[in-house]
Amino acid sequence: MKETNKNVRKRGNVLLESIYDATVEVIKEVGYVNLTFQQIAKAAKTSRTVIYRRWATKFDLIREIKEYKKSFVLDGELFDSIQKTESLREDLLQMLTLYQKVYMEVGPEIMSAFIFELSQNNEKIAEIKVIAKRKNIMIMEKLMEFARERGDKIKKVSNETLMLPFDLIRIENIMRKSDIDENRLVSLVDEILLPVFRG
């Protein structure tokens, strides 16, 4: 039987993963701002129609990639994965470690693109930004409640201050552009976060 040179049409998860991978590769080549569906389709060996049928915008695509890759690390939301430990220090370290694992699994290209989109003045994205911020505040409120249950002395801080751990880890990843090891996470907790939150 003769082999054919025609490409086998990709379907389902195989097609999706091909598009996800192609998106990351094209971002590496041209940057997120210059990314187009046409470039992705070419790299994924599919048609623009297939992509436009599923995603209306680039942001919709990278948001889906982010959630897909996050699922490899977390079974659900970060909030649900946080468990009470023996101290606020360990709680914070657990949270940062999980967040960093998600960041590395998703990858700097998609995370940077996602953060870039959240920084834009876009009505649709503004609602997503509010939800993301609220989720992060809920995580920190959970940690503060753990601390109160243990009888730890903690400071009363604003919601903006509760966002500090997430802002900090994002800045670390953007500025360092390399793996952040356990020692660095410990330093962030001991030298920056604990003095802010512990009374």
The pLDDT tens digits of the residues spanning 72-129 come to 999 999 999 999 999 999 999 999 999 999 999 999 999 999 999 988 878 878 888 8
CA 191 to CA 128: how far, in whole Å? 31
Same domain, 98 and 25: no
Supply the pTM of this predicted model.
0.86
Same domain, 116 and 36: no
The token pair at 155 is 């400071």
Is 153 inside any structural domain? yes
Chain centre distance of CA 174: 12
Chain centre distance of CA 7: 34
CATH number at residue 47: 1.10.10.60
Residue ranges making up the domain that contains 47: 12-54
Is 19 inside any structural domain? yes
| Bridge partners, residue 154, by sequence | 198
Same domain, 96 and 171: yes
Q: Give 174's Cβ-side CA count (13 Å radius).
A: 13
CA 25 to CA 34: how far, in whole Å? 13
CA 122 to CA 114: how far, in whole Å? 13
Which of helix, strand or coil describes residue 75? coil
Query: DSSP alpha helices (H): ranges in 36-181?
Result: 37-44, 48-54, 58-70, 78-81, 88-106, 108-118, 123-150, 159-162, 164-176
Same domain, 86 and 184: yes
- Residue 84: the pLDDT is 96
Q: Give 102's Cβ-side CA count (13 Å radius).
A: 23
Is 142 inside any structural domain? yes
- Residue 1: the pLDDT is 38
- 133-149 confidence digits (pLDDT tens): 999 999 999 999 999 99
Same domain, 22 and 74: no
Same domain, 72 and 43: no
Same domain, 112 and 163: yes
Distance from first CA to last CA of the chain, Å, rounded? 76
- 32-71 confidence digits (pLDDT tens): 999 999 999 999 999 999 999 999 999 999 999 999 999 9
